[in-house]
Amino acid sequence: MMKNYRLYHDDCLKILEEIPENTFDMIFADPPYMLSNGGITCQNGKVVSVNKGKWDESQGFEQDFEFHKRWLSACKRVLKKNGTLWVSGTYHSIYSCGFAMQLLGYHILNDISWFKPNASPNMCCRYFTASHETLIWARKDKKTKHTFNYELMKNGDFSSDFIKKPNTQMRSVWAIGTPKKSEKTFGKHPTQKPLDLLERIILASTNEGDLILDPFMGSATTGVAALKHNRKFVGIEKEKKFVELAEKRLSAIKGGNK
Ligand SMILES: C[S@@+](CC[C@H](N)C(=O)[O-])C[C@H]1O[C@@H](n2cnc3c(N)ncnc32)[C@H](O)[C@@H]1O
C-alpha cells in the first residue's frame, strides 16, 4: 500500500534541515502565537487562563522574530518552485511572520481574514472582542505559476459560510466557526484549527496527489483535511502528546496509511 502520511516527533528546525530542497507542493504553518504570558480569557462562559503551554511563550519581540525568520527560511528551501505557503496567526505573531516573509523574498498573494462567528466574548469590556485570525498566503517564487482552483472556490458548496454567496468569487473574508465537538473525539489541542478552514485552504491551493507539509502540526487538522481530499501529508510536532493525538486522528481516516 502506498504511504500517504508521515509524522515526525521533533523540532521542525531540525527535521527541515534533513528534508531535500523543492519537496513540497504546499506548506500550511500555524506557528506558536507567543501569547501565553499570564493573561485571562473567557471560554464556554468561564474565565480561564490564556496559557496554551510552554511552547507558546514569547521570548521577546527580537527573539520571536528570529525564530519566525529561521523556520520561514527553512520552509522556503523545501517548498517546490511553484509551491505556496500559508501562515496563520493573530496580531501577536502575524506581523512578525509577514515581515520575515517579505525579507525572505516570498511573494504575498493574499491575506485572508478568518472570521469566527462564535468567538468567545471579551471579559474586561475595555476593547473589541477578538473574533478573527489572519492567514497570509504566499508563493515561493514571484515568477512561477501557482495552483489556485478558482472555479472550485467560486462554485463549490460553502453554504455554512454566510459571507460566501453561491456562484460568486471567493473573497478574502471567510466565516468559519471554531472546531466542532466531532473534531475533538480523540482529544483536544488548545489551538486546534477547524477542519472546514483547512479543507478550504487545501482545495483552493493544491491538487489530488500533492504533498503537503505542516511544520507545527499540533493535532494534525492539516493532515486530516489532506487525506480526506486525496493529498499526501508530512507533519512535524515537538510535543509527544500532540503527535499521539495526530496519529489517532489520521489513522481513523479511511485510506490513511503510513
Ligand atoms: C498553534 S499550534 C498548531 C495547531 C494545529 N494547527 C491544529 O489544528 O491542531 C502550534 C504547535 O506547534 C508545536 N511547536 C511549537 N514549536 C515547535 C517546533 N519548533 N517544532 C515543532 N513543533 C513545534 C506546538 O507544540 C503546537 O502543538
DSSP lists the bridge partners of residue 89 as 134
Best residue among 58, 183, 196, 216 to mutate for probing ligand 1, ranked by most atoms within 8 Å of CB: 216
- What residue ranges do the domains of the chain occupy? 5-251
> In a mutational test of the pocket of ligand 1, which residue from 183, 237, 247 has the highest number of ligand atoms less than 8 Å from its CB?
237
**Minimal CA–CA distance to 215: which of 92, 44, 97?**
97
Ligand 1 pocket, residue 12 CB under 6 Å: yes
- Say if ligand 1 is within 6 A of residue 216 CB: yes
| 170 close to ligand 1 (CB < 6 Angstrom) | no
Residues 6+ apart with CB under 8 A from 197: 114, 174, 176, 221
Rounded to 5°, the CA angle 85-100-179 comes to: 45
Is any ligand 1 atom within 6 A of the Cβ of residue 15?
Answer: no
Tell me the pLDDT tens digit for each residue of 110-144: 999 999 999 988 878 888 999 999 999 999 989 99
Which of 46-55, 59-68, 91-100, 151-160 is the least confident region? 46-55
pLDDT band at 1 (very low <50, low <70, confident <90, very high): very low
Strands (DSSP E) contained in the chain are 5-9, 24-29, 40-43, 46-49, 79-89, 107-115, 132-139, 173-175, 211-214, 232-237
Per CATH, the homologous superfamily of domain 5-251 is Vaccinia Virus protein VP39 (3.40.50.150)
User: Is the pLDDT reported for residue 53 higher than 90?
Assistant: no
CA distances from 248 to 64, 73, 214 (A): 31, 31, 17
What is the arithmetic mean of pLDDT over 210-217? 98
Query: What pLDDT does residue 256 have?
Result: 64
Q: Are 136 and 129 in contact (CB under 8 A)?
A: no
Of all residues in the chain, the percent with pLDDT exceeding 90 is 81
Reply yes or no on whether the pLDDT at 66 is more than 50. Answer: yes
- Distance from Cα 145 to the centre of ligand 1, integer Å: 29
Atom of ligand 1 nearest to the CA of 214: 6
C-beta 233 within 6 A of ligand 1: no
- The values of phi and psi at residue 67, to 5°, are -60, -45
The pLDDT mean for the chain works out to 93
Pocket perturbation via mutation, ligand 1, pick of 13, 50, 55 by most ligand atoms within 8 A of CB: 55
Tell me if 191 CB under 6 Å of ligand 1. yes
Give 174 Cα–ligand 1 centroid separation in angstroms: 23
Is the CB of 249 inside a 6 Å radius of any atom of ligand 1? no
